[in-house]
């Protein structure tokens, strides 16, 4: 809370709670305090990787690989991963096998990795180095990945002459990010969902908008599987990508509204609108090095900011403005603000509004456990607490007063509907006559009477308009 003004505060006793930043006991945080990643790490034994190649391995670009080559090393990014068919009988002692499609800037190859312990470190988009002793031709029989027919078998836990290793570090960050056969004529999400998925080798470029928590689900055939659902966006539409089992931990590496994915030939679930999944011939280029990705990232950033359920008060921008602002105090009507913002776009200005509170949602939001809110991983989080845990990344997220607490404000020229204002913490305290902590601790009957007291009264607000923020910012609430 910022410093509280005396004029309103003097009417209310200030209570300071020793447990100010701890959620109240009424909203228990489920779980045992360990994150999913910590559990994975603890449950799976740590594998020491002190392997060094014995003998000489020639390093190849992938398109130079040929059937029959011996002792090769390749470096590329994982663009697809899928489990080998469950119907194939596994040899004794084998935990399973997974097909990895590895791509560099020249071509792609399939790696069949057999393991006794599942390889949790492999995720789509990660750079890997593979040392192998033989390149096989996958044309024969029913080999699953037609787009990368040459394949390499590795079973590092059994065969000490082969290895697969994830390469991490800044020196590897820009390697192998060029998409194969790239044409800047990409399909939009909307076009893809409306018939475009029928086109062979259709490519879509999208930005990760949000990531769900990884869930264990029972499939139609009774088998249990992990799934993580990722909401994707471009400038035309949104879609949901389901990542199953081996790929379900991949989104832990992705950053909402930043990570770009160039997806070639994804499958579209016809029974759901815009539900995508990976097929065996799908390629996922994570953060591809193409100018279009940068443009779309900018678009997504602006859109997500605009749609944020509770944008942060622009303290820094407002402080900078306060240094240069003209020394004037002008009372505006809502219509005046609207006219000025439209007539001189890009202009920043400040003034006062005299408004009447027509509607308040305090008791409803309290009942719905939604008094406070914020977003994390692109997912909205609501609670009657100052801190809540993000279901995806498990981090503790601090919450601010839900802007929908104010239902509707009117003046003689117009109205502002729910959720359209950005208030500073100080302005909230002045408006409600209580701090966020006191708001959470208030009983339903107290909030009801506060609502009654505040309804239909006239308040004066100091507002600030800046096109950058795109919402009316309230820096002060006066009598
Ligand atoms: Zn999160």
Q: How far does residue 280's CA lie from ligand 1's centre (Å)? A: 30
What's the gap in Å between 286 CA and the centre of ligand 1?
Answer: 20
Average pLDDT, the chain: 85
Average pLDDT over residues 277-301: 92
Between CA 232 and CA 186 the distance in angstroms is 15
pLDDT top residue among 232 and 420: 232
The pLDDT confidence band at residue 16, using thresholds 50, 70 and 90, is very low
CA–CA dist 342, 349 (Å, integer): 12
Most confident of 31-40, 41-50, 76-85, 237-246: 237-246
Q: 189-306, superfamily in CATH?
A: Nucleic acid-binding proteins (2.40.50.140)
What does the alpha-carbon distance between residue 451 and residue 57 come to, in Å, rounded to a whole number?
Answer: 75
How many Å lie between the centroid of ligand 1 and the Cα of residue 376? 4
Give the separation between CA 350 and CA 318, rounded to whole angstroms.
10
Q: From ligand 1's centre to the CA of 446, what distance in Å?
A: 33
Distance, in Å, from the CA atom of 127 to the CA atom of 191, rounded to the nearest integer, reads 31
Find all residues with CB under 8 Å of 26, minimum gap 6, and list them.
384
CATH 2.40.50.140 segments of the chain: 58-172, 189-306, 308-478
Cα(205) to centroid(ligand 1), Å = 23
- Tens of pLDDT, residues 363-391: 999 999 999 999 998 889 999 999 999 88
Band the pLDDT of 41: cuts 50, 70, 90.
Answer: low
* 374 CA from centroid of ligand 1 (Å): 11
Q: Rounded to the nearest whole angstrom, what is the distance from the C-alpha of residue 240 to the centroid of ligand 1?
A: 18
Extract the runs of DSSP E, i.e. beta strands, from 116-171: 127-132, 136-137, 150-154, 163-167
**DSSP string for residues in 262-314:** EEES-EEETTSTTEEE--TT-EEEES-S-HHHHHHHHHHHHHHHHH-SSPPP-
Question: Ligand 1 centroid vs 129 CA: distance in angstroms?
Answer: 30
CA of 149 to the centre of ligand 1 (A): 38
Percent above pLDDT 90 for the chain: 53
CA of 211 to the centre of ligand 1 (A): 8
Cα(428) to centroid of ligand 1, in Å?
Answer: 25
**CATH superfamily of the domain spanning 308-478:** Nucleic acid-binding proteins (2.40.50.140)
Cα 113 to Cα 119: distance, rounded to the nearest angstrom = 9
pLDDT above 80 for 47? no
Q: Tell me how crowded residue 148 is: count the other CB atoms within 10 A of its CB.
A: 25
CA 89 to ligand 1 centroid distance, Å: 39
Segment holding 475, helix H or strand E: strand 472-478
For the stretch 389-417, pLDDT in tens is 988 888 899 999 999 999 999 999 999 98
Q: Decide: 241 and 254 in contact? Cβ < 8 Å.
A: no
Give the right CATH number for 58-172 from 2.40.50.140, 3.30.70.930, 3.20.20.70, 3.40.50.2020: 2.40.50.140
SS (H, E, C) 185-231: CCECHHHHHCCHHHCCCCEEEEEEEEECCCEEEECCCCCEEEEEEEE
Question: For residue 67, what are the CA distances in angstroms to 135, 151, 163?
Answer: 5, 9, 19
pLDDT of residue 328: 84
Predicted confidence at residue 200, as pLDDT, reads: 85
> What SS3 class is residue 97?
strand
């Amino acid at each position: 809370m910022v410093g509280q003004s005396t004029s309103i505060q003097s009417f209310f006793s200030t209570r300071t709670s020793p447990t100010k930043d701890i959620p109240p006991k009424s909203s228990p945080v489920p779980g045992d305090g360990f994150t999913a990643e910590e559990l994975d790490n603890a449950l799976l034994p740590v594998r020491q990787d002190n392997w060094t190649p014995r003998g000489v391995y020639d390093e190849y670009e992938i398109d130079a690989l040929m059937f029959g080559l011996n002792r090769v090393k390749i470096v590329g990014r994982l663009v697809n991963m899928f489990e080998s068919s469950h119907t194939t009988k596994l040899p004794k002692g084998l935990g399973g096998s997974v097909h990895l499609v590895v791509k560099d800037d020249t071509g792609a190859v399939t790696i069949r990795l057999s393991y006794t312990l599942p390889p949790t470190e492999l995720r789509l988009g990660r750079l890997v180095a593979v040392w192998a002793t033989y390149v096989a031709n996958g044309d024969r029989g029913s080999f699953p990945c037609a787009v990368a027919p040459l394949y390499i078998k590795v079973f590092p836990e059994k065969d000490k002459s082969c290895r697969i290793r994830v390469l991490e570090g800044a020196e590897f960050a820009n390697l192998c990010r060029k998409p194969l056969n790239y044409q800047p004529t990409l399909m939009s999400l909307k076009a893809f969902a409306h018939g475009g998925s029928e086109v062979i080798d259709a490519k879509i470029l999208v930005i990760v908008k949000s990531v769900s928590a990884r869930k264990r689900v029972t499939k139609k055939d009774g088998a249990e599987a992990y799934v993580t659902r990722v909401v994707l966006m471009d400038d035309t539409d949104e879609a949901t990508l389901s990542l199953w089992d081996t790929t379900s931990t991949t989104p832990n590496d992705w950053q909402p509204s930043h990570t770009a994915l160039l997806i070639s030939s994804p499958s579209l679930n016809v029974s759901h609108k815009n539900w995508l999944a990976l097929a065996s011939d799908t390629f996922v280029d994570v953060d591809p090095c193409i100018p279009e990705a940068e443009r779309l990232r900018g678009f997504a950033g602006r859109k997500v900011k605009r749609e944020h359920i509770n944008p942060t008060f622009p303290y820094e921008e407002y402080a900078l403005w306060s240094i240069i602002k003209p020394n004037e105090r002008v009372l505006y009507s809502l219509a005046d603000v609207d006219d000025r913002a439209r007539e001189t776009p890009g202009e920043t200005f400040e003034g006062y509004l005299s408004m009447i509170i027509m509607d308040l949602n305090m008791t409803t939001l309290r009942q719905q456990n939604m008094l406070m809110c914020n977003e994390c991983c692109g997912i909205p989080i609501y609670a009657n607490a100052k801190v809540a845990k993000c279901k995806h990344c498990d981090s503790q997220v601090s919450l601010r007063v839900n802007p929908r607490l104010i239902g509707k404000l009117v003046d003689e020229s117009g109205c502002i509907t729910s959720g359209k204002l950005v208030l500073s913490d100080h302005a909230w305290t002045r408006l409600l006559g209580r701090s966020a902590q006191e708001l959470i601790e208030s009983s339903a009957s107290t909030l009801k009477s506060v609502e009654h007291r505040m309804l239909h009264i006239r308040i004066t607000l100091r507002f600030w308009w800046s096109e950058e923020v795109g919402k009316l910012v309230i820096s002060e609430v006066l009598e």
